[in-house]
């Protein structure tokens, strides 16, 4: 395969000239998607067409449908209008070509029964906002750089991890155990083993806990309407919108009364967390962010056949702001409830609590 970059203007839209070696590979022939991807393309020239249209035209040359997932397209700098750098590829299969085309945009692909679906890579998804070109450049650099401890020194890494652990030392240790591969591959393995995640943020790599990542995903704003819908279906839909695995307490749904088991909920441009808070107040459930999943179960004060007492429906107080008066003779105290704080502060509070609990354990330990 020869991949020659032509003038790399910007990330362009796209026009394609493809000559396939096989005679007729139309979709009507019922050719398997995987087999279609292995068909050799004599010449492939990409220049000047938008991503969905270009992929559809490329796929048409080998009789396979290629589509871009809506959620993933929304992460790209220009959304579905994002364009690719101009390239020419010769004597290569679509299986070889797609990573070369999609890689600079932080995208990859998945095979479905009857089509190819283009999706964002995990590090790109974790940004949880629209990506910038700098984000994509850093992600591409991580993909193209062979890992070594020396190579890692050239990357700026920001740790959003509690100070109770030596995060740089832990990561370095796991990177050495991760094997061989690109910086992106080794970061994925090393952070995963520690219960952390990584993602590009402009010119730096950010590393934070899986719980903090879930908290960030729950801050996504959505507009939904559920009318007398099974609670389990609502929770599955919310977890899907957050792209977070859901774990339900066994037998939970059987213990809920009919009104709580089929609630109605209307949310307009509010966070997924807010939707879960409303469901918690109205149905008697609780939710927790665990290492890699969102756990939902019955509230600790749940009453069989009903929901928690009204006083318990509001989120608990988790902080206090003290403001000293001008003359210093007294202070104003403002109590803060959990739902009044942003997600990153809630996660920071949890990490601080963990840190001091660990200190207390050390103080209590026998000599």
- Which pLDDT score, from 0 to 100, does residue 359 have? 75
CB 298 within 8 A of CB 306: no
Residues of each domain in the chain carrying CATH 3.55.50.30:
220-308
Q: What is the pLDDT of residue 85?
A: 66
Q: Which two tokens stand for residue 160?
A: 């959003």
What confidence score (pLDDT) does residue 10 get? 35
Q: What is the pLDDT of residue 59?
A: 83
Lookup result for tokens 């004599």: 42
pLDDT of amino acid 315: 66
Question: In this predicted structure, what is the pLDDT of residue 304?
Answer: 65
Tokens read off for 96: 């070889």
- Give CB contacts under 8 A, 24+ apart, made by 346-353: 346/215, 346/318, 347/209, 347/211, 347/212, 347/215, 349/318, 349/319, 350/211, 351/161, 351/162, 351/164, 351/209, 352/162
- Paired residues of 5 in beta bridges: 87
Q: Does the pTM exceed 0.85?
A: no
Q: What CATH code is assigned to 220-308?
A: 3.55.50.30
Structure-block tokens of residue 366: 């026998």
* Helix locations, 62-166, DSSP H: 70-73, 94-102, 122-125, 133-144, 149-152
Q: Which residues contact 366 (CB under 8 A, 6 or more apart)?
A: none
Tokens of 30: 């019922």
User: Torsion angle of alpha carbons 343, 227, 303, 253, nearest 10°?
Assistant: -90
Nearest to 219 by CA among 275, 296, 284, 297: 275
Specify the pLDDT at position 30: 39
pLDDT tens-digit map of 33-61:
888 888 887 777 777 778 888 888 888 87
pLDDT, averaged in runs of 10, over the chain (367 residues): 38 36 39 82 75 84 89 92 76 86 92 92 92 96 95 94 87 92 96 94 93 88 93 95 93 89 91 92 89 88 59 64 80 78 75 77 72
Predicted confidence (pLDDT) per residue in 60-102, tens digit = 878 889 999 999 999 999 999 988 767 676 778 888 888 888 9
């Amino acid at each position: 395969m020869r991949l020659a970059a032509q003038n790399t203007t910007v990330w362009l839209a796209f026009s394609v000239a493809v000559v396939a070696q096989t005679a007729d590979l139309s979709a009507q022939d019922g050719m398997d998607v995987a087999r279609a991807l292995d068909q050799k393309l004599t010449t492939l020239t990409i220049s000047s067409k938008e991503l969905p249209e270009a992929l559809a035209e490329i796929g048409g040359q080998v009789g396979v449908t290629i589509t871009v997932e809506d959620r993933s397209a929304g992460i790209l700098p220009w959304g579905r209008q994002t364009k690719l750098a101009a390239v020419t590829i010769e004597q290569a299969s679509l299986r070889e070509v797609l990573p070369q085309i999609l890689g600079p945009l932080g995208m990859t692909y998945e095979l479905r029964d009857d089509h190819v679906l283009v999706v964002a890579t995990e590090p790109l998804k974790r940004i949880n906002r629209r990506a910038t070109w700098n984000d994509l450049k850093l992600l591409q650099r991580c993909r193209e750089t062979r890992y070594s401890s020396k190579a890692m020194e050239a990357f700026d890494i920001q740790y959003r991890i509690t100070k109770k652990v030596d995060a740089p030392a832990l990561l370095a240790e796991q990177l050495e155990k991760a094997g061989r591969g690109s910086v992106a591959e080794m970061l994925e393995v090393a952070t995963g083993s520690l219960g952390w995640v990584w993602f590009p943020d402009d010119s730096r790599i950010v590393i934070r806990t899986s719980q903090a990542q879930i908290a960030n995903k729950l801050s996504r704003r959505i507009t939904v309407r559920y009318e007398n819908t099974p609670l389990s279906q609502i929770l599955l839909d919310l977890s899907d919108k957050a792209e977070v695995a859901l774990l339900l307490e066994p037998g939970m749904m059987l213990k809920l009364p009919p009104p709580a088991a089929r609630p109605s909920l209307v949310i307009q441009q509010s966070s997924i967390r807010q939707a879960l808070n409303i469901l918690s107040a109205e149905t008697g459930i609780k939710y927790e962010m665990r290492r890699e999943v969102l756990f939902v179960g019955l509230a600790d004060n749940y009453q069989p056949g009903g929901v928690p007492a009204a006083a318990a429906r509001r989120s608990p107080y988790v902080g206090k702001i003290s403001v000293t008066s001008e003359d210093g003779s007294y202070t104003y105290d403002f109590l803060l409830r959990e739902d009044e704080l942003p997600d990153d502060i809630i996660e920071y509070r949890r990490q601080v609590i963990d840190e001091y609990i660990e200190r207390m354990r050390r103080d209590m330990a026998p000599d």
